[in-house]
Structure 1
Amino acid sequence: MHIIRCFRVCSLCNALISRSRRPRDGWRTLLQQTSIKHPEVTPIRFTHGDSLDLYENESVQKYVNQLMEEYADISQKLQHAYLSESDRKEFVSKHAELLPVANVFKKTEQAKKDLEEVLSLLQSTTGTKDEDEHLIQLLREEEAQMTSRILTLKKDLIKVLLPSDPLDSSDVVLEVVSGRTTGGDICQQFTKEMFDMYQGFAIYKNWDFSLLNYTPAEYGGLHHAAVRIAGESVYRHLKHEGGTHRVQRIPEVGLSSRMQRIHTGTMTVIVLPQPKDLNIHIDPKDLRVDTFRSRGAGGQSVNTTDSAVRIVHLPTGITAECQQSRSQLQNRETAMQMLRARLYQSMMGKETEQRHTARKQQVGTRSQSERIRTYNFSQDRVTDHRTGYSTRDIKEFMKGGEELDDLIADLLEHAEREALLEIVNSRILSQPESGQSAD
């Protein structure tokens, strides 16, 4: 804005600035306010787009207007000395919650005012003498900068409106399970490839990848595996990976490869968050602990002792097992970690049963109709059915690097927009229109 300040010094710009301008209505102008008296907004499901599309959404604009009115009201109430201690504490908490939105909003408002000044100056200098060409060029550069800043601020506003997931920073227990469809060797081979993909993704994100359980299948495939992945924002990035994944390909090995035609198989990914403060009390009387000889890889002596452990939580029937270590004590400790994670997920699912719990969505019946993503090797394409996101070069994608990271980023953006609009519609519809009774 140095240019605008300089313009105000020169006589030409003083004359231009002195011209009449349209009145501004403060923050209401910024979002092209939808009046509170506007007819009730019908809940919507936002189609996949970017943050700017969401910013222009009528329901979001109305929601922001309500937040800003609430912020102004609370700010005014906090000036009153007669507030009780409990009321003041409540208002301070709410004020702090709304402050990030208000700050970004004010910056956006100021940026739009500055852009209006630049556009007004540009319009006033059109058709002037050649010596003003330099002035016009500077104004156009300023216009481009301000436009870019406003776009950034609009995206920032959407970010501060987005609901946060308290589990996002959690580590996870991730399980891969071969599907139950015809042609089991196809599913088992694909499950092994998916396991390798997530291991590659953990390396790409610099996460710790600790094996908890591994049950191999014939022809180099995999029946089931469980791993603990620890690092920065692991659950945030992997929480949408849970569900049924479908593969379409001509098998390279195994019995199905002899048919030389495209086969379809499935596998399931289960993602269980492990909050850092996870402290679920388990009564030892509720547990049945079985030991057996390991069936997995681990060297020649892995099967010589009953080191593998299976723990069953009798009240719920939830089971966890570990056979990776030669130490029965270590396997028992690892199995208990997995059991706690599964019990936590079960508890969380009961609290949100009406909203289709995460584990229920992930496990399902492992049928192809519940697939969340298809890996079509014949067409060299990966498609996520929740967002329509598609990418080519499937072999590179299965390495678990940048391509998988891009798809996950797209999923996160889509899920956050859906979550925000759910809140927006819920709030708008829960509040009576101005002039109407609360009932």
Structure 2
Amino acid sequence: MLDRLQYVKQRFDEISDLIIQPDVIADQKRYVQLNKEYKDLKGLVEKREEYITIDANIKEANEIIADGSDAEMVEMAKMQLDEAKERLPQLEEEIKFMLIPKDPEDAKNVMVEIRAGTGGDEASIFAGDLFRMYTKYCEARGWRTSVVDVSEGTSGGFKEVIFEVTGEDVYGTLKFEAGVHRVQRVPQTETQGRVHTSAATVMVLPEAEEFDVQIDMNDVRVDFFCSSGPGGQSVNTTKSAVRLTHIPTGLVAQCQDQKSQHKNKDKALDVLRSRLYEKELAIKQAEDATKRSSQVSSGDRSAKIRTYNYSQGRVTDHRIGLDVFDMDGVMNGKIQKFVDELQMVNNMEKLKENEVF
């Protein structure tokens, strides 16, 4: 293991020198990439130092015990040896997972799109519940959320809502939330007390940097219109809302959340860039899917991934067979158990695939 970690240390030292070079700093794309790699390798270098310390403690303790001339020192050495031997296997497992090649997208911010599916008004209400669930979760993680565009439901919730999430390792955390979420409950609009099944689709798009996707504005049609809201609320008399249509692909992005036309255009451009980037990423993920079959693929947006059964107070993730009996907690953003289990399964698959050790 130390041989493998020595290569990591050499690369870390190399990057540490590179990121202070003027020519690297001037090349923003390379500078950002090297900074991300520096941050990833720093954690491994720290684990390497801990591994070296524990290895040295084991050798020192064995020497003292073998010498046996000082009974008090031997007793202390045995305690040191027990502690080191208990920590070493845990540390080795941590290092193994850290050595798994990282998805370069994982560190990116995201655009999350939630759309009501089958179920009419109840589907829109459920889409609103999911929006609240994710914003609560993001708040608990210290991430910032910003609404980009909304289309409100007639009885509450949203027909569609798009919001941006910025923070640390956002895409790597939220990417497995993409897919169809299904709810089984008695709708607020139901007078007979019958359980209905409704659905909403969640898309999680890694936010593209300007150097990830170059957009020729000659290929983009820009339309300005008045933003709107239900019952005449939030209606602008000025055309501040912006819709962008990418003519070569037909992709459309719009924003009406800001009062400024300029800010709406910038946000709509971010969404368009992310959708174009996700289009390319989807092709890559499809190619990867032919190489390996993953339980927790983040690429299939049509797959039913989770059911929220209110009558049983149960939330089930169908990909990993995980049941959580805490409906109120989950709908208030407590989804970390799902995140942890999905990441663990994904990491185990990668561990086998890459044969790290």
- TM-score, with length taken from structure 2: 0.75
Map of 1:178 onto structure 2: 116
Contact residue 62 and residue 81 of structure 2 kept, 8 A: no
> Corresponding residue for 1:48?
none
Distance 2:225 2:243 in 1: 8
- Indicate whether 1:302 and 2:235 are aligned: yes
Structure 1 counterpart of 2:15: none
Deviation (angstroms), 1:381: 1.3
Q: Is the 8 A contact 1:177 1:224 kept in 2?
A: yes
Flag the structure with more relative contact order, 1 or 2, with Cα contacts below 8 A and sequence separation at least 6: 1
The 3-state SS of whatever aligns with 2:103 is coil
Q: In the superposition, relative to structure 1, how do residues 101 and 420 fare at CA in structure 2: closer, same or farther (>3 Å)?
A: farther
How many residues of Structure 1 are paired with residues of Structure 2 in the alignment?
315
Superposition deviation, residue 258 in structure 1: 2.1
Tell me what 1:196 maps to: 132
136, 140, 149: which is aligned to 1:213? 149
Percentage of pairs with the same residue: 34
The question of whether the paired residues in 2 share the 8 Å contact of 1:111 and 1:149 is answered with no
Are 2:350 and 1:419 aligned? yes
Counterpart contact for 2:113–2:162, Cα < 8 Å:
yes
* Partner of residue 315, structure 1: 248
Change beyond 3 A, Cα 1:100–1:329: closer
Q: Is the 2:112–2:163 contact (alpha carbons within 8 Å) kept by the matching residues of 1?
A: yes
CA contact (8 A) 1:163 1:416 kept: no
Deviation at 1:336, TM superposition (A): 1.0
> Aligned ranges for residues 220-235 of structure 1 at < 5 Å?
220-235=156-171
Q: Which amino acid aligns with 2:241?
A: A
Per-residue deviation at 1:216?
A: 0.7
Equivalent residues of 1:268, 1:362 under 8 A apart: no
> Aligned to 1:363, what secondary structure does the other structure show?
coil
Structure-2 residue corresponding to 1:93: none
CA shift, 1:196, in A, is 0.6
Distance in 1 (CA, whole Å) between partners of 2:262 and 2:98 is 46
Q: What is the TM-score normalised by the length of structure 1? A: 0.62
1:166 correspondence with 2:118: no
Q: Which residue of 2 aligns with 1:331?
A: 264
1:146 has 2:84 as partner: yes
What secondary structure, in the 3-state scheme, does the structure 1 residue paired with 2:244 have?
Answer: strand
SS where residue 227 of structure 2 aligns? coil
Name structure 2 gaps, 5 residues minimum.
11-40, 291-295
Aligned Cα RMSD in Å? 3.8
In 2 relative to 1, CA 333–390 (structure 1 residues): closer, same or farther, beyond 3 Å?
same
Gaps of 5+ in 1: 1-63, 75-95, 125-131, 365-369, 429-439
Match of residue 181 from structure 2: 245
Report the counterpart of residue 437 of structure 1 in structure 2: none
Moved more, 413-422 or 350-359: 350-359
Task: Give the 3-state SS of the residue equivalent to 2:320 in structure 1.
Answer: coil
In the TM superposition, residue 228 of structure 1 has moved relative to its aligned partner by 1.0
Q: 1:112 to 1:263 in 2, by over 3 A?
A: farther
**Partner deviation per Cα, 1:291-349 (whole Å, 9 max, x = no partner):** 33323369745243433222111111111111222333322221111001111111222
1:4-403 maps to which residues of 2 (within 5 A)?
103=48, 107=52, 110=55, 141-142=79-80, 144-179=82-117, 181=118, 183-251=119-187, 253-254=188-189, 257-276=190-209, 278-296=211-229, 300=233, 302-356=235-289, 361-364=299-302, 370-400=303-333, 403=334
Query: Residues of 2 paired with 1:105 and 1:422: CA distance?
Result: 27
Residue equivalent to 2:337: 406
- 1:210 and 1:219 map into 2 onto residues whose CA distance is 23
In structure 2, what is the Cα distance between the partners aligned to 1:248 and 1:327? 40
Structure index of larger Rg: 1
